[in-house]
Amino acid sequence: MGSSPPGPGLVHQEIGRDHIVLVGRSDLGPPTPDLPLIVREADSGTQRASRALLQTTGRQIEVGSTEAARRCALEGVGFTLIPERAVAEDVAAGTLLVHPLAGTPLPRSFQAVRLRAAQAGPAARRLWAVLTG
């Protein structure tokens, strides 16, 4: 998960860190009010992490996944706040450009999550050990 999950019935541990950046297709130039901001759904870790930044923007289009946001940016639909790992190859290739925005890059952690009361089998225990090791 891209954020700490709510609820006492879950166990979580940070397993990595990333940053959220603002990207747009490189041939579009800097963000303008003419193009919307592509945002993740309200329950996503990206949306929660960037909530304060999103309050300052105008028109928004909500999508259901990081990949959908990435593809919208690649198609020139608008700009998106997205984990930099998700667009690293696009930025390296020059297809997407990271744009400066106050408050970015925004740090974010990734969490391994499991049910507290679940009886994990050997494979699940090994996976948890690998993820959190």
**Domain coordinates in residue numbering, the chain:** 10-132
pLDDT in tens, the chain (133 residues): 666 666 788 888 888 888 989 999 999 988 888 888 898 877 776 766 666 666 656 788 899 999 999 999 999 999 998 999 999 999 999 999 999 988 889 888 888 888 888 888 999 999 989 998 8
How many other CB atoms are there within 10 angstroms of residue 89's CB atom? 10
State pTM to two decimals: 0.77
Q: CATH top-level class for 10-132?
A: alpha beta
